[in-house]
Chain A
Amino acid sequence: MSAVIAVENHSPLNVEEIRKDFPILSREIHGKPLIYFDNAASAQRPSAVIDATHDFYSRRNANIHRGVHTLAEEATALYEQARQTMARFINAPSDRNVVFLRGVTEGVNLVSQAFVRPRVKPGDQILVTHLEHHSNIVPWQLLAKQTGVELKVVPMTQAGELDMDAFHGMLNERVKLLGVVHVSNALGTINPVADMVKAAREFDIPVLVDGAQATPHMAVDVQAFDCDFYCVSGHKMYGPTGAGILYGKSRWLEEMEPYHGGGEMIKHVTFEESVFNEPPAKFEAGTPNIAGGIGLGASARYLLDVGLDRIREYEAGLLAYATEAVQQVEGLRIIGTARDKASVISFTLEGIHPHDLGTILDHSGVAIRTGHHCAMPIMQFFEVPATSRMSLAMYNTRDEVDQFVAALNKARDILA
């Protein structure tokens, strides 16, 4: 890396420059500039990602790993480069540890069926936390029905942090997997994943981390975490929808049975039996989302270029500013006040149902998410039917936060 770039990477993030990379940010909604605060549901795409997929379709489209013609080779090379980029992005030891699939949901289901299912018997336990997204709850409930394992839940505190004493007390030899969300989509809480893995190690419990909400906000190092599996969804990190990865330790990926059967995941097929391919191909049956994988690689490269530490620093400042600003709104209650948070603020506004708020804000050009955020147990814990959630990205500004606060006050004028 040249000295110039090294110096540049230590300068603070220039949000105006970043904004230019995202074409959609110049859109107007109901005649107002778009203020996109629904990044935790799906972030927007930079030109780098749009161009990568466009280039693939317009110049290099072909199936991968199949043909000897030029397009097939170029497509295969691009797809495998994207895999290497993803390995670098999460600091995996090798690109062989990176399985391409649709996203976190598919990653959890894969681990549940291909890894955990053959290893459990009735009375064994799966441990998840109260902060999980439905995608890290429901696959385990299905497994429980299939195998008789019990699902145990690490409780949380009123601040929306995990109760670590309770967590330590729940570890035992019967636990066959710990599933934990790195960053909560509903509350923003950042969980102490490395500490949790370390504690789980004492009982030889493999750990799966749901990284959906972490990768857009912070550097991820799966080797430092020492987790066994790490799931990523592309669309949360400025990449395409339906493209994600599952990181797995080599030992497990080699040992595991395939998840889906079909083309690509085999070496040799007769009607009597098939010889499976090596990982990661073993888990990639059928023609994948090739353009999606390439776009995902482009989004990771974009984030590495911007610098995840700069993003983290910028967003921390923005979150502090927004937290302070929204608290000035009368009747606003923040749900989830963990000490360590990503740039997510869930809240309720007295006298205004979240759904009405969502509609009123939309008329001011502001996109937020209202509802249960696919985390109904969290809503049940705080005894609210739904919350409103602003989730900030590296391209959001303090000025947008100010306009958002003005729109909240307008909603109060109309309804409260």
Chain B
Amino acid sequence: MSLQDLYRTAVIEHNKNPRNFLELENPSHQSRGLNALCGDDIRVYLSVDEDRIQSASFLGQASAITMASASMMTVQIARLTVGEALQTCDRLDQLLQGEADEALREALGELCALEGVRQYPSRIKAARLPWQAMKAALNEQQIASTE
């Protein structure tokens, strides 16, 4: 278990320069991901049109793991159908549970950089938080809170 494994280069890079770190102008869906214990608090914005996520963005304050996961998420789910985005979320869960094979890794691409959290149970929640917020947004829920 090493720090380099948790804070991989891609994680650090996304944390420092988060992509789509803004509020969408007219989001069709939005929700908040909250983990009060850790002090993670983000908002996820989606613009969905005809079952396809046209764009995704987020704002907030959170640990590097949550920030990187959210940043990568907004990049990956843009242009996906809602079903595909949810599938990506399931795949990430599989990765975090240590059940990823090569095909799954390939499908996840850059998100594989989050794998290092597996050894830190409290950080798995942090990695999943943006995705739970995305799901909550799609379900028209105001808030997704872990813990």
Is A341 close to B, CB under 8 A? no
Contact B64 A356 (CB under 8 A): yes
Point out the residues of chain A lying under 8 angstroms from B38, CB to CB: 354-355, 370-371, 386
Q: How far is the CB of A29 from chain B (nearest CB, A)?
A: 12
Is B52 close to A, CB under 8 A? no
- Binary B-proximity of A220-260 (CB < 8 A = 1, otherwise 0): 00000000000000000000000000000000000000000
Point out the residues of chain A lying under 8 angstroms from B40, CB to CB: 353, 355, 385
Decide yes or no: A386 and B12 within 8 Å by CB, A353-B62, A356-B64, A363-B3 being known contacts: no
Contact B39 A359 (CB under 8 A): no
Q: How far is the CB of A386 from chain B (nearest CB, A)?
A: 3
Point out the residues of chain A lying under 8 angstroms from B15, CB to CB: 415
**Which of chain B's residues 1-39 have a Cβ closer than 8 Å to chain A?**
1-3, 6-7, 12, 15-16, 36-39
Point out the residues of chain A lying under 8 angstroms from B67, CB to CB: 353
Contact B37 A353 (CB under 8 A): no
- Binary B-proximity of A351-386 (CB < 8 A = 1, otherwise 0): 111111001100100000011100010010000111
For A356, give its contact among B2, B16, B41, B63 (CB under 8 Å). B63
Contact B6 A372 (CB under 8 A): no
Q: How far is the CB of B65 from chain A (nearest CB, A)?
A: 7
The size bracket of the interface on B is 20 to 34
Point out the residues of chain B lying under 8 angstroms from A386, CB to CB: 38-39
Is A1 close to B, CB under 8 A? no
Point out the residues of chain A lying under 8 angstroms from B1, CB to CB: 30
Point out the residues of chain B lying under 8 angstroms from A30, CB to CB: 1
A359 CA / B15 CA spacing, docked (Å): 16
Is A414 close to B, CB under 8 A? yes
A386 CA / B36 CA spacing, docked (Å): 9
A326 CA / B6 CA spacing, docked (Å): 26
Point out the residues of chain A lying under 8 angstroms from B91, CB to CB: none
Q: How far is the CB of A369 from chain B (nearest CB, A)?
A: 11
For A376, give its contact among B7, B16, B36, B62 (CB under 8 Å). B36
- Binary B-proximity of A376-403 (CB < 8 A = 1, otherwise 0): 1001000011100000000000000000
Point out the residues of chain A lying under 8 angstroms from B48, CB to CB: none
Contact A359 B36 (CB under 8 A): no
Contact A415 B3 (CB under 8 A): no
Contact B7 A355 (CB under 8 A): no
Is B89 close to A, CB under 8 A? no
Contact A372 B36 (CB under 8 A): yes
A405 CA / B126 CA spacing, docked (Å): 26
Point out the residues of chain A lying under 8 angstroms from B37, CB to CB: 371-372
A355 CA / B40 CA spacing, docked (Å): 9
A384 CA / B36 CA spacing, docked (Å): 12
Decide yes or no: A353 and B61 within 8 Å by CB, A371-B38, A371-B39 being known contacts: yes
Q: How far is the CB of B61 from chain A (nearest CB, A)?
A: 5
Contact A355 B39 (CB under 8 A): yes
Contact B63 A353 (CB under 8 A): yes
Decide yes or no: A414 and B12 within 8 Å by CB, A354-B39, A355-B38, A371-B39 being known contacts: yes
A372 CA / B39 CA spacing, docked (Å): 7
Among B6, B12, B64, max chain A CB count under 10 A is at B64
- Binary B-proximity of A162-201 (CB < 8 A = 1, otherwise 0): 0000000000000000000000000000000000000000
- Binary A-proximity of B47-67 (CB < 8 A = 1, otherwise 0): 000000000000001111101
A384's closest neighbor in chain B, by CB?
B39
Is B79 close to A, CB under 8 A? no
Contact B64 A353 (CB under 8 A): yes
A352 CA / B61 CA spacing, docked (Å): 10
A416's closest neighbor in chain B, by CB?
B16
Contact A415 B61 (CB under 8 A): no
Point out the residues of chain A lying under 8 angstroms from B120, CB to CB: 359
Point out the residues of chain A lying under 8 angstroms from B63, CB to CB: 353-356
Is B123 close to A, CB under 8 A? yes
Contact B123 A359 (CB under 8 A): yes
**Which of chain B's residues 106-128 have a Cβ closer than 8 Å to chain A?**
120, 123, 126
For A385, give its contact among B41, B64, B126 (CB under 8 Å). B41
Q: How far is the CB of B15 from chain A (nearest CB, A)?
A: 7
Point out the residues of chain A lying under 8 angstroms from B39, CB to CB: 353-355, 370-372, 379, 384-386
Q: How far is the CB of B28 from chain A (nearest CB, A)?
A: 27
Contact A415 B64 (CB under 8 A): yes
Contact B36 A414 (CB under 8 A): no
Point out the residues of chain A lying under 8 angstroms from B12, CB to CB: 414-415
A379 CA / B38 CA spacing, docked (Å): 12
Point out the residues of chain B lying under 8 angstroms from A354, CB to CB: 38-39, 63
Among B1, B36, B41, B120, max chain A CB count under 10 A is at B36
A356 CA / B7 CA spacing, docked (Å): 9
A414 CA / B40 CA spacing, docked (Å): 20
Going nearest first, the 7 A-B pairs with the smallest beta carbon separation are A386-B39, A385-B39, A355-B63, A353-B63, A355-B38, A356-B64, A356-B63
Query: What are 9 residue pairs bridging A and B, where the CB atoms are less than 8 Å apart in the complex?
Result: A353-B62, A354-B63, A355-B38, A356-B65, A363-B3, A370-B38, A379-B39, A384-B39, A414-B3
Given contacts A354-B63, A414-B7, A415-B12, 9 further A-B contacts (CB under 8 A): A351-B16, A352-B64, A353-B40, A353-B62, A353-B67, A355-B123, A356-B63, A359-B3, A359-B120
